[in-house]
Amino acid sequence: MAEQLWGGRFSKSTNEMINEFQASIQFDKRMYHEDIAGSMAHAKMLAKCGIISDEDCSKITDGLQNILEQIEHGDFDFSIDLEDIHMNIEKRLTETIGEAGGRLHTARSRNDQVALDTHMYVRRETAAVQKLILDLQTAFVATAKKYSDTIMPGYTHLQRAQPILFSHHMMAYFSMLSRDFSRFKGVYERCDIMPLGAGALAGTTFPINRQMVADELNFSAVYANSLDAVSDRDYIMEFLSAASILMVHLSRISEEIIFWCSREFSFVELDDAHCTGSSMMPQKKNPDVSELVRGKTGRVIGHLMAMLSTVKGLPLAYNKDLQEDKEGLFDTIDTVKFSLAVYAQLIRGMKVNKENMLKAVQEDFSNATDLADYLVKKGMPFRSAHAVSGKAVHYCIEHNKWLEDLTMDEFKSLSDLFSEDIHEAIKAQTCVDNRNSYGGTSPKQVQMQFELAQNILNNE
Ligand code: ARG
């Protein structure tokens, strides 16, 4: 009979298939570091409070340190019979240090232990994700600065709308990522609460000091309600929400990069090192990174939905359903970190085809608003100016011309408010320069965004 740590009230060992079904060691072993750090802090507190002896405490600490080294060197055999990371480590500890190991679990349950480990894990990984977001933001700013005066079409409905600076477009991505960063900051704050000491659900009969454990493990606060401490998974749902929104952003960026590097657009070229070819078509160079990130977004959103659905119907306090919080969380962490790291490289290696971007602006009517604005500045009501500009576009389409090609006579026949300065007023560069309202696409406004960005990057 497999010797379970909770085997006392049982007369039969667990069915083998059930054993495997209910185990979490296959995936929760990645929290070994948090589990050991948490146990060390717990043992230290138990000793300080006179619940275990100092001698037992140092045996426990040394034993745990040994186990940590074994795991790190790959010398630790995780057993599925011992269900999870908590019991694998505790069992090994007792095997090596004897009775003192059996005292470690005093005033503790796996319910508050797993909550502690997961809080610590999410806290650490949240900080890691934040760092990667900052690096990607840095890559966007660098690319924006490198091509700071490049003009491209801005789109609505994926139809050319008004000329913009490419750098303005890059800085829009920067802004999206700033909100992601601050969302993860919120996740960190609400994850930074210490659950240990809640026991199984109701607290403990021992005179523990929870604040001591919180201080030892650098937590800002302690859960004030033991039922809440063991059943709260908000910080996981929040992490998954923040991760989903971040992935949605990366996915929108991906979508643009995918069509920007298609032959039809030819706006950017990705580094060969960041693309793959086709096994059949020798000419192909595919933007796999962007496609994969777009694809993986669905997977992360799926993990969020799974977690929300898991928690939705659960009564307080701990239920085994909660063990389902981990795989989706871990996969999300891996996916988000990998995607961010890969994207920073992709953006740093991306070359912009300035000529094609400018050509796309010149060979269209995206200066039609500027034509209307010109007339408004000469005194015409905007609504009438819109109609005149629309007629000018119609005339051009019929005569196979662009607005810049119209002669002075042709302009005059549309409105006598037109004079020689109209040609300058509708040049792409003028259209961009003139959009100087706060947050607009003018070089001055983009410069302002660079300064704001530098401030953000320096202070995070
Ligand atoms: N492996 C469990 C989890 O991940 C740990 C807590 C189990 N507690 C219990 N009473 N079965 O949630």
Q: What is the CATH number of the domain that holds 101?
A: 1.10.275.10
Task: Tell me: do 173 and 43 sit in the same domain.
Answer: no
Report, in this order, helix, strand and coil percent for the chain, each rounded to 5: 65, 5, 30
- Locus of tokens 């991760």: 243
Q: Which residues contact 24 (CB under 8 A, 6 or more apart)?
A: 83, 84, 85, 323, 326
pLDDT the model gives residue 2: 53
Query: Is 157 an annotated catalytic residue?
Result: yes
Q: At what angle do helices 382-399 and 368-377 cross, to 10 degrees?
A: 140
Is 414 a domain residue?
yes
CB 436 within 8 A of CB 442: yes
| Structural domains of the chain, count | 3
pLDDT the model gives residue 64: 98
53, 278, 309, 384: which is the annotated catalytic residue?
278
Rounded mean pLDDT of 229-253? Answer: 98
pLDDT reading at 105 higher than 90: yes
pLDDT reading at 94 higher than 90: yes
Q: Is 268 in the pocket of ligand 1 (CB under 6 A)?
A: no
Is 3 a domain residue?
no
Instruction: Return d(Cα 196, Cα 229) in angstroms, integer.
Output: 8
Work out the number of other CB atoms within 10 angstroms of the CB of residue 124.
15
Tell me the C-alpha to C-alpha distance, in Å, between residue 347 and each of 129, 284, 355, 455: 18, 20, 19, 21
Task: Tell me: do 312 and 238 sit in the same domain.
Answer: yes
Distance in Å, CA 364 to ligand 1 centroid: 63
The closest alpha carbon to 263, from 243, 249, 284, 278, belongs to 284
Is 2 a domain residue?
no
Handedness of CA 215, 217, 218, 224 (dihedral sign): negative
Query: Is 33 an annotated catalytic residue?
Result: no
The closest alpha carbon to 370, from 421, 443, 416, 410, belongs to 421
Average pLDDT, the chain: 96
pLDDT reading at 1 higher than 60: no
* Domain stops at, among 90, 106, 122: 106
Work out the number of other CB atoms within 10 angstroms of the CB of residue 292.
15
Is 10 a domain residue?
no
Please identify, by atom number, the ligand 1 atom nearest to the C-alpha of residue 85.
Answer: 1
Task: Tell me: do 162 and 246 sit in the same domain.
Answer: yes
Q: Is 111 in the pocket of ligand 1 (CB under 6 A)?
A: yes
Q: Is 24 in the pocket of ligand 1 (CB under 6 A)?
A: yes
Mutation probe of ligand 1 site: the residue of 5, 320, 322 with most atoms within 8 A of C-beta: 320
Q: Judge if the upstream peptide bond of residue 317 is cis by omega within 30 degrees of 0.
A: yes
The closest alpha carbon to 351, from 164, 174, 166, belongs to 166
* Domain stops at, among 74, 91, 106: 106
Q: Is 323 in the pocket of ligand 1 (CB under 6 A)?
A: yes
Task: Tell me: do 81 and 193 sit in the same domain.
Answer: no
Task: Tell me: do 283 and 343 sit in the same domain.
Answer: yes
Work out the number of other CB atoms within 10 angstroms of the CB of residue 423.
15
pLDDT reading at 403 higher than 70: yes
Is 197 a domain residue?
yes
pLDDT the model gives residue 317: 94
Is 171 a domain residue?
yes
pLDDT reading at 280 higher than 70: yes
Rounded mean pLDDT of 46-65? Answer: 98
CATH code of the domain in which 246 resides: 1.20.200.10
Task: Tell me: do 74 and 139 sit in the same domain.
Answer: no
Strand partners, 352: 268
Is 159 a domain residue?
yes
Task: Tell me: do 349 and 405 sit in the same domain.
Answer: no
CB 375 within 8 A of CB 388: yes
Confidence of residue 272 (pLDDT cuts 50, 70, 90): confident
Task: Tell me: do 196 and 342 sit in the same domain.
Answer: yes
Is 200 a domain residue?
yes
pLDDT single digits (tens) 319-365: 999 999 999 999 999 999 999 999 999 999 999 999 999 999 999 99
Rounded mean pLDDT of 218-240? Answer: 98
Confidence of residue 58 (pLDDT cuts 50, 70, 90): very high
* Domain stops at, among 106, 140, 173: 106
Q: What is the pTM of this model?
A: 0.95
Atom 2 of ligand 1, nearest CA residue: 323
Task: Tell me: do 423 and 315 sit in the same domain.
Answer: no
CATH code of the domain in which 433 resides: 1.10.40.30
Atom 12 of ligand 1, nearest CA residue: 323
Task: Tell me: do 198 and 337 sit in the same domain.
Answer: yes
Task: Tell me: do 385 and 415 sit in the same domain.
Answer: yes
Q: Is 231 in the pocket of ligand 1 (CB under 6 A)?
A: no
Strand partners, 193: 221
pLDDT single digits (tens) 5-18: 888 888 888 888 98
CB 231 within 8 A of CB 199: no
Task: Tell me: do 411 and 300 sit in the same domain.
Answer: no
Atom 11 of ligand 1, nearest CA residue: 320
Rounded mean pLDDT of 203-231? Answer: 98
Q: Domain of 22? A: 16-106
Instruction: Return d(Cα 387, Cα 383) in angstroms, integer.
Output: 7
pLDDT the model gives residue 273: 81
The closest alpha carbon to 358, from 262, 257, 253, 267, belongs to 267
